[in-house]
C-alpha cells in the first residue's frame, strides 16, 4: 500500500491542517525536521522515512490566490520527482502548466470543480497524470457545484466512472489533522460500489493500525500528515507495513 505524506503549503511554508479550517492553520512542528520549510521536510520524508511520493496542497491557490510556483519548482529541483499537487486546477491548460514544470500528477478537487463538464474536459489529460480528490466534510461533498454540494458522494463517483477517471482520493476535511480515525464505513462502501477504482484515503489516520485496517479494506494508498510529524508512525512501522 502507498503511504503518501501531505504538505499543506501556505505563503511558502508548511502548515498543520486541522479540520479544513484554514484560517487557523499554524506552521507545522515536526519530529522529522526543524522548521516548516517545504524542501527540508520533503527531504526528511525521503531520507528518514523512505517516502518519495508526496501530495502538496497549495492553499494559496485553493483560496483563490496565485499558485506558489517557486515552492513547487524548488521541490522538483530538490529531488521530489513523485509530486501530486492540488492547486485548484479547473481546466486543461492549468493542469498542463503544472505538469510542464515536473509535477508527476495533478490533483483535480471537487472543492474547486465547476461541474461534470469540467470532468469531461480534464479527461484529456493522460489518466496516469491526473487524480481526482473527492473532498468531503463529515461524509458530504464539498464543492462549488450546487447539484453535488453537501450531498452523498455517489453522484460524483458515478460521473467519474462515466468519464474515464481511474484514481480517486476520498478526503474528509473534517477529519484532517484530528487523529480521530478514517471513515472506514464509507471506504468499505466506496470499494464495494467501485471495485475497479484506484482508491486513496485521507483524513484522520492515527497510527500504523489504521494503515493496516485500510490496507485490509482494499484501499490502495493513504494520505498522512499529522501522524508522521508527531512520530506516531515511524520508519519501522512503514517497513513492517510493506512486508
CA-to-CA distance for 10 and 61, rounded, in angstroms?
9
DSSP-derived secondary structure for 181-225? ---HHHHHHHHHH-TTSEEEEES---SHHHHHHHHHTT--EEEES
Number of domains in the chain: 1
CATH number, residue 165: 3.20.20.70
User: For residue 84, what are the β-bridge partners?
Assistant: 55, 105
Give the model's pLDDT for residue 177: 77
Confidence at residue 215, expressed as pLDDT on a 0 to 100 scale: 96
In the prediction, which pLDDT does 222 show?
97
Q: Residue 189's domain spans which residues?
A: 2-242
Q: What is the pLDDT of residue 75?
A: 97
Among the listed residues 17, 115, 114, 113, the one whose alpha carbon sits nearest the alpha carbon of residue 58: 17
Please compute Rg for the chain using Cα positions: 17
pLDDT along the chain (243 residues), means of 10: 95 83 79 94 96 96 94 96 95 96 96 91 95 94 93 95 95 85 95 97 93 97 94 94 81
pLDDT of residue 19: 63
- The answer to whether the predicted template modeling score (pTM) of the entire model surpasses 0.85 is yes
Residue 84 grid cell: 501530486
**Placement of cell 458522494 in the chain:** 153
What's residue 21's pLDDT? 64
Output the pLDDT for position 243.
73
Q: What is the pLDDT of residue 160?
A: 94
> Which three cell numbers mark 210?
489504521
β-strand pairing of 198-202 with 167-172: parallel
Using alpha carbons, select from 198, 186, 190, 243 the residue that is nearest to residue 222: 198
Amino acid at each position: 500500500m502507498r503511504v503518501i505524506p501531505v504538505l499543506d503549503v501556505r505563503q511558502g511554508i508548511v502548515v498543520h491542517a486541522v479540520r479544513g479550517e484554514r484560517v487557523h492553520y499554524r506552521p507545522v512542528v515536526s519530529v522529522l525536521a526543524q522548521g516548516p520549510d517545504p524542501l527540508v521536510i520533503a527531504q526528511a520524508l525521503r531520507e528518514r522515512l523512505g517516502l518519495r511520493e508526496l501530495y502538496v496542497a497549495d492553499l494559496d491557490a485553493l483560496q483563490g490566490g496565485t499558485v506558489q510556483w517557486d515552492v513547487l519548482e524548488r521541490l522538483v529541483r530538490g529531488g521530489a520527482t513523485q509530486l501530486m499537487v492540488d492547486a485548484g486546477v479547473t481546466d486543461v491548460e492549468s493542469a498542463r502548466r503544472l505538469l510542464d514544470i515536473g509535477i508527476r500528477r495533478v490533483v483535480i478537487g471537487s472543492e474547486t470543480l465547476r461541474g461534470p463538464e469540467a470532468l469531461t474536459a480534464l479527461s484529456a489529460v493522460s489518466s496516469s497524470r491526473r487524480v481526482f480528490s473527492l473532498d468531503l466534510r463529515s461524509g458530504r461533498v464539498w464543492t462549488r457545484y450546487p447539484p453535488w454540494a453537501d450531498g452523498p458522494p455517489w453522484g460524483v463517483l458515478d460521473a467519474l466512472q462515466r468519464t474515464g477517471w481511474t484514481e480517486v482520493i476520498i478526503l474528509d476535511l473534517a477529519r484532517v489533522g484530528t487523529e480521530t480515525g478514517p471513515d472506514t464505513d464509507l471506504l468499505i462502501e466506496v470499494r464495494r460500489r467501485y471495485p475497479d477504482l484506484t482508491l486513496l484515503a485521507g483524513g484522520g489516520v492515527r497510527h500504523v493500525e489504521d494503515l493496516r485496517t485500510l490496507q485490509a479494506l482494499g484501499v490502495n494508498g493513504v494520505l498522512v500528515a499529522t501522524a508522521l510529524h508527531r512520530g506516531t508512525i515511524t520508519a519501522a512501522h512503514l517497513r513492517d507495513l510493506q512486508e
